[in-house]
Amino acid sequence: MNELILELKEEIIKVLNLEDITPEDIDPKAPLFGAGGLGLDSIDALELIVLLEKRYGIRLASAAEGKTIFTSVENISKYVSENRKR
Amino acid sequence: MATIIADNIISPLGNTTQANYQAVKAGKSALCQYDPELGIKREELGINVPFPFTASLFTQEQINEISIDGYTLFESLAINSIRKALEECQIPINERTCLVISSTKLGGVQGVQRVQGVQEVQGVQRVQSVQEIAHAVGITTTPIIVCNACISGVSALILGTRLIEMQQYDYVIVCGIDVQSTFIISGFQSLKALSETPCRPFDIDRTGLNLGEAAATVILSKDEKAGSWHITNAAIRNDAFHISSPSPKADGCLMAIETAMKGQNATELALVNAHGTATLYNDQMEARGLSRAGLADIPTNALKGYYGHTMGAAGILETIITIHSLDDHTIIGTKGYNELGVSGNINIVKENTPIREVQGVQEVQGVQKVQGVQKTDFLKIISGFGGCNAAIYVSKKGPTPKSSCERRWKTSHSIVITPQKVVLDNEIIVTHEVLPIKEERKEEMLTFLYKTRINNYPKFYKMDALARLGFIATELLLQKERETEGELNRQDRAVIFFNQSSSEHADKVFLSSISDPENFFPSPSAFVYTLPNIVNGEIAIRNNYRGETAFYILPKKDDDIIRMITQATLLDGYHKSIITGWLEYKSESDFLAELTIVIGYRLENKQKTKIKTIVPDDSVVGIR
């Protein structure tokens, strides 16, 4: 689980071009979107949908579905470990 | 003000305006579901995406009919459409006639275009396509390309109108064209913006947009013509909110509408023709804008249910259909619309409706008298990526008196950035010799400038190269401005850029995410930047600029045309200043930003001759 969390943090930093941020900066329980989190926006959410599909073979039907999953790194890792195809 | 003297539409619904209007009036739609399981092969059309979609595309038969030997589908469409519009009016094609092309993708990605319907790789530059078009229809002046996301068509009509108001040209041919491709369809799919089924503008069950292809041409003239339509007022405003989501409060849309409605009477509006893409956010935003502008009661329609979103052609095509429908005393129904799904209680027209030209009958001194206002005018609104919103007021009324003030400008600051050096107000501030070595190579100039001189806007790292270049150049200009003039609120500032290669660099980045069918993962963030005007949006967001934002593509760097369009932008009295200039990014070793801040000022009538003849101030750059 911890390995997956670290992997996700690294992937998120890479695909979202979070240049000034290291994995240690990201609290796995903290919200990713909105104030207080990483300040991600709607295009970042779409990019995370692509990440899930490309890396883990998980296809989300809609952006709305993404909203319920991308609440925190911990929540993404839980969803990925339960649904991953690769 | 400019007069519309001829028009043409070529779409899957027909090759003339009349054929198109009659088809739309009869309720026909060109939207078609492309689904391998339904047996419709889209591969034959040169489009190959691994998902079902709905779009308005030319059939192979139509493509064969439209295609001209030696030209791409994009070029053939434009040439045919312009020729047909020219047949309607006898105008001289000379140095007083200009061609303005509106397109978001200019026929495809660099080197990949559909020819005879099949995707082909060519060695041509996209801007050359426009020169081919200009040459084929006999244009001798430099063609101007408007590449301003979804508002391009209206943006081009606005530029054409201003060029005539400035007496720069007597006639402006405005032609909007876009053809569809794997590139565009997969990009919109990655943004989750597409509906698999025919779109439903403003409806409660709307799920997204459909793409479409078409060419639409309008010829604008300086001369009055009895019974003809005029573009009287126009505005472009930025939301300064987000590069791909509209302002939830409809700020930019509202400002554009208010400017276009200035001096006009809403009771004379027969109709508002909305953008109505049928995405959740766009339609909601437009409803908010109309209701905030006090136009909720005005009958409003959208035409995407007939044509899909024809991108660069949309604003022109929808203006033409609206003109012909009002000439036919009809408001076209909003195909796909059934139940209102936006707030603001706006008045969406569902079915074709005859226009009651007269408001009511009143009894005056015992005699029944027809009272009221003729509803002869309409408002066209449109919004797009990069946060831009446009509105034009189109009317059959004669010319309205305008203020006689002429505006000029002076340059306050200037910057040049190349891979070799940065020159700010004629002083070299950085050269490539100072770039540090990182991982065995010199650090890239733009990243170096960000880290050493800005470093407080991480969004920089998410931007594509063109946006980074524009962002850095503007930041350095504004640092200089703050240094000399202090902190000022510049909400009324416009941002207009020019280049030759459009978004070529970003196109390659996005293309790499879809070029391998085994590894087909179109990147939404890369796709957004394949519109060059996103850089204008980034700058508007960073600085809260609400003025006009626009991106123009020219066959080559041409300072006279840049000055002419900068002057045209100043015709909109809202703009007190403009950030303007050349912004080209081809590669890490080949880019150029050459930007200036220009401050507009008014010349009162009596001063005019004095300044023109006596003061040889070379900072005063007038166009005429």
Inter-chain touch A43–B528, beta carbons under 8 Å: yes
Kindly provide the ipTM of the predicted complex, given to two decimals: 0.91
Chain A nearest-CA distance from B24, in A, is: 32
If residue B221 lies in a helix (H) or strand (E), which one and from where to where?
Answer: strand B214-221
As a whole-number percent, the residues of chain B with pLDDT over 90 amount to 80
Q: Which domain holds residue A23?
A: 3-83
Inter-chain touch B190–A19, beta carbons under 8 Å: no
CA B430 distance to own-chain centroid: 35
Please indicate if any CB of chain B lies within 8 Å of the CB of A54. yes
Amino acid at A60: L
Q: What's the confidence (pLDDT) of residue B397?
A: 83
Q: Model pTM?
A: 0.93
Residues whose CB is less than 8 angstroms from the CB of residue B344 and which lie 6 or more positions away in sequence, other chains included: B287, B288, B290, B291, B296
Q: What's the confidence (pLDDT) of residue B210?
A: 98
Residue B624 has pLDDT above 60, yes or no: no
Inter-chain touch B242–A41, beta carbons under 8 Å: yes
Q: What's the confidence (pLDDT) of residue B77?
A: 96
**Per-chain mean pLDDT for chain B:** 91
How many degrees, rounded to 5, is the angle at CA A56 between CA A52 and CA A58? 60
The pair of structure tokens assigned to B203 is 């409806």
Q: Confidence class of residue B610 from pLDDT cuts 50, 70 and 90?
A: very low
From the list A44, A46, A62, which residue is nearest B190 (CB)? A46
Amino acid at A84: R
Chain B nearest-CA distance from A24, in A, is: 18
At B67-95, the pLDDT tens digits run 999 999 999 999 999 999 999 998 999 99
As a whole-number percent, the residues of chain A with pLDDT over 90 amount to 67
Residue B250 has pLDDT above 50, yes or no: yes
Cβ neighbours of A50 in B, within 8 Å: 190, 521-524
The DSSP symbol for B614 reads T
Cα separation of B598 and B412, whole Å?
6
At B98-121, the pLDDT tens digits run 999 999 988 777 667 777 767 766
Residue B406 has pLDDT above 90, yes or no: no
Inter-chain touch A46–B522, beta carbons under 8 Å: no
Provide mean pLDDT across the span B461-476. Answer: 97
Range list of β-strands (E), B12-107 = 32-34, 53-56, 97-102
Residue B623 has pLDDT above 50, yes or no: no
Domain count of the fold of chain A: 1
Provide mean pLDDT across the span B22-33. Answer: 97
Residues of B with CB under 8 A from a CB of A: 190-192, 242-245, 458, 461-462, 521-525, 528
From the list A20, A41, A63, which residue is nearest B192 (CB)? A63
At B263-314, the pLDDT tens digits run 999 999 999 999 999 999 999 999 999 999 999 999 999 999 999 999 999 9
Q: What's the confidence (pLDDT) of residue B124?
A: 67
Q: What's the confidence (pLDDT) of residue B333?
A: 98
Question: Do the beta carbons of residue B460 and residue B448 sit within 8 Å?
Answer: no
DSSP β-bridge partners for residue B217: B8, B175
From the list B245, B461, B523, which residue is nearest A50 (CB)? B523
Range list of β-strands (E), B396-473 = 406-417, 421-424, 427-431, 437-438, 441-442
At B193-244, the pLDDT tens digits run 999 999 999 999 999 999 999 999 999 999 988 789 999 999 999 999 999 9
Provide mean pLDDT across the span B394-416. Answer: 81
**Per-chain mean pLDDT for chain A:** 90
Nearest CA in chain A to B525: A43
Helices then strands (H, E): number in chain B? 17, 30
Q: What's the confidence (pLDDT) of residue B619?
A: 41
Q: Confidence class of residue B621 from pLDDT cuts 50, 70 and 90?
A: very low
Residue B608 has pLDDT above 80, yes or no: no
At B564-589, the pLDDT tens digits run 999 999 999 999 999 999 999 999 99
Q: If DSSP codes are grouped into helix, strand and coil, which group holds residue B146?
A: strand
At B185-199, the pLDDT tens digits run 999 999 999 999 999
Inter-chain touch B243–A20, beta carbons under 8 Å: no
Beta strand pairing call for B493-499 and B549-553:
parallel
Provide mean pLDDT across the span B41-63. Answer: 84
At A12-38, the pLDDT tens digits run 999 999 988 999 999 999 988 877 678
Residue B620 has pLDDT above 50, yes or no: no
CATH code, A18? 1.10.1200.10
DSSP string computed for B400-414: PP----EEEEEEEEE
